Structure 1
């Protein structure tokens, strides 16, 4: 099929080439030979009168025009997929779809087990792929790499629809045999303690540090930083450190590790955990089913699984 003399099949090749920046890797993704992908790139260069990808040494770099086209091409393909290729009906028992969901390890421990149990009860044949923390999850969703984002409301994009799934409190955890576990946890004690912190990347401060600094002028002394919420509590065992943790996660971990849970010594608004999806996917029956299942799963959050 052609549009303005452009073979629309080339858009698929262009999308993968711009993502992979390699003819060899693009050929693997497209299940084509490298020579076929190289030919597609030549035709794209001729049509747009631009190199699109330029070889410098052993690497390929995207030209400014290629950078400008990257999001537009992905959006076009997303629109085609959501409008034409997604089947109008969805049956969880017969589907062969794989749903890709961006969420933290905290969400995978607290919410996702309930989602999977509900899917099992419906004899669902759907598969689930959970994606790791990245700097800009919305870009992943817009490129079609993720079907849903499950993220706090502070990080929800205004460009796409979202719903609040549930609210969460935060608590402090410390080792049972630490001195700080047997004394009142005041603001001063919190400020003077060592802290174990989850830091999402080298470029961003963690949410708690920003909030506490802005609201109370406290600069936490971070003695240990990690990329995972789930391991925070275990890292205070044998120390005088504190981990500030989601309350539901804390209760799960305290069943396993010798840890004490104490309330925060200051007021902090509850976190609103949201689900977000691309505006093009509003009528996707499969995502509607999945979002409804997530809502049902939240009603079971405070029901403890078997020990």
Structure 2
């Protein structure tokens, strides 16, 4: 038997109003249309539902018995087909799993956690390290939100660019490059470099930019994360090239000097990525808004100011 959900709404209205005219007015249909619906309900259930007693209509025992069930079923159908998009943050209890580049965790993680705890105390955040290989956890629903420099290409993965920042050079205080007036491309290439690569790659777009100038650099090591690379840099004459927004706070803590990069590179982008199943999920929309704000880099001092202080010393 093929069921018509419109009959459920009509039956609920008939039982609530106790008349064909009242039910028709409630559902904004004509009385003849409602009368036809009552006829179909009677044929489907095998019960009269409403019977005339004088000038009024009285529900049958069956109708009285199922009145509450009909109303609850209609509410459930409405919840499924027209769900409420209101979000009660105070009562929200949910654990979100985020896979962010380590430098982005350092940049925006604390602000995101603080905002989430203030607005929704029942929410918990799980930050996972990036994998050295591309994995399908976003598609499988095991990861709620990714943040890194890569725009995904899969058609079912959504992405939003939330920030962009230029590249800078990070060196220890007193590094030979801090004692020159201008960091040229040649001087940059002559220094010893460490790269940041979760796959252990020793080359990247910087080598292409140098090659266009007829220059090559010496890369002596790679580190899996920005934080690891900074530790190498602060204890040696190595330099690392990294996005300014994710490097500035670490440089201040570790006592590193930031220098302008003497190469023309497109700005480093920051993307938030998620599976399309979460496009309209209210809690996920709320989380993305907080993440977007947390990952927007603040305006800091111009790169090179600390370099000038080193020269004065």
Aligned twin of 1:277:
274
Aligned twin of 2:253:
256
Map 1:121-132 to 2 at 5 A: 121-132=118-129
Cα pair distance change 1:300/1:93, threshold 3 Å: farther
Q: After TM superposition, which residue ranges in structure 1, 4 or more long, deviate above 6 angstroms?
A: none
Structure 2: distance between partners of 1:162 and 1:140: 15
Residue 251 of structure 1, CA deviation: 1.9
1:196 to 2:194 alignment:
yes
1:210 to 2:204 alignment:
yes
Residue 107 of structure 1, CA deviation: 0.5
1:96 to 89, 93, 96: 93
For the Cα contact (< 8 Å) 1:114–1:301, is it kept in 2?
no
TM-score normalised by length of structure 1? 0.63
Unaligned runs of 5+ residues in structure 2 are: 1-79, 302-313
Unaligned runs of 5+ residues in structure 1 are: 1-82
Cα pair distance change 1:155/1:138, threshold 3 Å: farther
Aligned twin of 2:111:
114
Aligned twin of 1:75:
none
Aligned twin of 1:164:
161
For the Cα contact (< 8 Å) 1:105–1:228, is it kept in 2?
yes
TM-score normalised by length of structure 2? 0.62
1:288 to 285, 289, 295: 285
Aligned twin of 1:173:
170
Structure 2: distance between partners of 1:108 and 1:302: 18
Q: How many residues align?
A: 216
Look up the SS of the partner of 2:90 in the other structure.
coil
Structure 2: distance between partners of 1:285 and 1:121: 17
Residue 136 of structure 1, CA deviation: 4.5
Structural RMSD (CA) = 2.6
Map 1:63-74 to 2 at 5 A: none
Structure 2: distance between partners of 1:294 and 1:249: 15
For the Cα contact (< 8 Å) 2:209–2:263, is it kept in 1?
no
Residue 187 of structure 1, CA deviation: 0.8
